[in-house]
Structure 1
């Protein structure tokens, strides 16, 4: 077949999957690619054929009759190739993620079996530390951070917002008789280095000065352990304290809670990086897990 140039196997696989699933996103997930990669390969085919292959209708990408006609023999050919050359077990690709210890211990690690089951091709390495280990240096591919989303030189993808609410040990609540927010005036208010009490005081419409001389913690996980140990009242993030509230180890004395200005982000280098697709899978899994487990999570 001299002079005949066959489209790349990757483009043909993208076409077959997009026709069968009627979705670029679903095809991307099945093939382990990004949505933009699928779109790029299908545009190349359209340019080669001189015709549109898909039309968007709502959330669906509806294939044209020409696309369906091409996809049918392509599917048969791909099946034949798969039977002839059984795929070797792919090597697992590492994804090295810097993560805050509090988020790692209290939310991420207890759920990692679910991520590994969904993405066996990714070998996740966690580096738990308070400081931001810069993605793109020191072997770190991405980071899971909590803040305002303004890390210079990095691209930040918002994962979820947070609720803030006071929590303490049940025995401490009873000992101090915490019945109304103003009762906090006689409590020990534990401090986090980057989390002030003032916004919650304002929302609760109480006049209490920002605590100055009470115990101070750099790590949110240690802050919650101090509260559980009866040291005082902590202003907690909802995701980090959910299990302790469910078990009764900690209690929320008041119904008042506020939305924090900070949020959880996945951060990565601004320049193209080999692990970006795997980082996307991790971000998608975190959001899907939050949506399933905690419908009140601030995802948008």
Structure 2
């Protein structure tokens, strides 16, 4: 007799995780190539299964509850484990690496914080190594469709690494850790992790504190007070201006830490369940240029770790 599983269908879990992460049934449907109604049905099925409300539905949209945020984090971790278990060996293409023999333009979609704080300072190195490839950065928070009609050749995405209809190559993990300005609390750092209870914790919609709390052994729930941001640049500027402690991604604060605008509170960091990926279409006519960009990103990421 087959043992009954308590797991919901995988598609239900994927739809729910995307809806929480993107805070939108519509954007989740676009990412998963589903209809908005299908995503809504998956979420309702999960709510009925758990006998709990996971989204607050209002006229302006549907917003995940704290229970939904916590559940989505656990689902995301599980999906990442499955993805890596079935990941084919050698993420980079097996094709012979060739540089473009004539000038080619490559339009890259990238999130503004990563473009401003990590990618842009390194572009001179790429231009020097690949003078025939002209990069055009499109700083955009919207998920590029890469359908040939939006003019995007390749995207740099931060997420779970599973997007339908495209190739995705993981090139960098992300460490997260708390930072603060030397002017916050007159530069008096919290000595213990638990001392964060007495600090103003700056919050970001897609970068919750709770996983870091759990990783360092704090029995803290997600903070409710303190400013809430949906833009990482604004979050880090608020921290640099002494407004509180921010949970930062290492790639976004390396220059601020080096220059002393921000300081790490402890050496302890946590590897985020999200990571950085190069994303492109398999039928792209610009494979050689995309491969050159991918190899360069891997080199830069490796140098960053070193």
The two structures have a TM-score, normalised by structure 2, of 0.65
Shift of 1:169: 0.3
Please show how residues 219-234 of structure 1 align to structure 2 within 5 Å. 219-234=231-246
Q: 2:226 aligns with which of 205, 211, 214?
A: 214
Residue 302 of structure 2 is aligned to residue 291 of structure 1: yes
Cα distance in 2 between the residues matched to 1:194 and 1:211: 14
Contact 1:97 1:142 in 2 (8 A): yes
The superposition leaves residues 70-111 of structure 1 with CA deviations (integer Å, 9 ceiling, x where unpaired) of xxxxxxxxxxxxxxxxxxxx6521101100111110011111
Provide Cα deviations, 1:234-272, integer angstroms capped at 9, x if missing partner.
111111111111111101112221111000001112x41
Conserved 8 A contact 1:92-1:121: yes
Q: How does 1:119-158 map to 2 (within 5 A)?
A: 119-136=130-147, 137-158=149-170
3-state SS, counterpart of residue 267 of structure 1: strand
Measure, in 2, the Cα distance between the counterparts of 1:142 and 1:112. Answer: 16
Match for residue 189 of structure 1? Answer: 201
List alignment gaps of at least 5 residues for structure 2: 1-92
> CA offsets per residue over residues 214-234 of structure 1, 9 Å max, x none?
212222222111110111111
Q: 1:242 is paired with a residue of what secondary structure?
A: helix
- Please state how far the C-alpha of 1:126 moved relative to its aligned partner: 0.5
Match of 1:166 in 2: 178
| TM-score (structure 1 length as normaliser) | 0.66
Residue 261 of structure 1 aligns to a residue whose secondary structure is: coil
Q: Does 1:97 align with 2:108?
A: yes
Greater CA radius of gyration, 1 or 2? Answer: 1
The Cα of 1:180 is off from its aligned counterpart by 1.1
Distance 1:27 1:280, change over 3 A: closer
Within a 5 Å distance, the mapping from 1:6-45 to structure 2 comes to 28-29=96-97, 31-32=98-99
Report how many residues are paired: 213
1:108 alignment partner in structure 2: 119
Structure 1 segments unaligned to the other structure (5+ residues): 1-24, 34-89, 296-300
In structure 1, distance between residues paired with 2:163 and 2:250: 23
Q: Which segments of structure 1 move beyond 6 Å, counting only runs of 4 or more?
A: none
Secondary structure at the residue paired with 1:97? strand
Structure 1 residues 174, 202: CA separation in 2 closer, same or farther (over 3 Å shift)? farther
Change beyond 3 A, Cα 1:27–1:215: closer
Equivalent of 1:236 in 241, 245, 248: 248
Q: Which residue matches 2:275?
A: 263
The match for 1:5 is: none
